Amino acid sequence: MNKKTTPGKVIVIVAPSGAGKTTIAQRLLKEYPKIEFSVSATTRKPRKDEKDGEDYYFLSDEEFDRRIKNGEFLEWEHYSGNRYGTLQSEVDKLVESGYFPLLDVEVKGALNVQRLYNSGAISIFIEPPSLEELKNRLSKRGSETESSLQQRLKRAEMEIKYADRFDYSVVNDDLEEAYTEVKNIIEPFITD
């Protein structure tokens, strides 16, 4: 007799670049075996150590267009000259297997996922303590030009305006405290 798995629910974490979203997401993935990262698709070229199907699905512009036309994306967006999107088939496959897909998506995409999955999704917005602190964090990375830094900060200002549209908002002033707060939010969700 096969044991039927209980469908999982979708966890959406949203934040401006530099707010700590990736660090928090990676820790959740390590701590909770039933949380799985949903692999996104992109039109950008793979970086040195990235693998197709693990880090991203690397698609041509034509393939990305075909999948948009076929309605295969839960959400997609232009970002820094490339397109990124979440394939519904990837999320549904994880949910049906009893996993809790973790989506790391942009604000508008997250709102769409929240709308589509309704009570089957939980959304958490990670906020920086201030735009000045966000600027400091992005500058410390050493990977930003002055122009790209200003673009990210302008985008962050826009994204922060949407924070109240999500189920929860967590200010990442201290990483340990923010991570504990996120854990306290998701634990009842993944154990009910």
Q: Is 156 annotated as a binding residue?
A: no
Q: Give phi and psi for 106, each to the nearest 5.
A: -75, 165
Q: Which residue has the tokens 């798995």?
A: 5
How far is residue 98's CA from residue 166's CA, in Å, rounded to a whole number?
A: 24
Q: Is 188 annotated as a binding residue?
A: no
Q: Is 163 annotated as a binding residue?
A: no
In sequence order, what are the residues at sequence separation of 6 or more whose Cβ sits closer than 8 angstroms to the Cβ of residue 14? 21, 105, 106, 107, 110, 123, 124, 125, 126, 159, 166
Q: Is 20 annotated as a binding residue?
A: yes
Q: Residues forming the annotated binding site?
A: 15-22
Q: Residues forming the annotated binding site for ATP?
A: 15-22
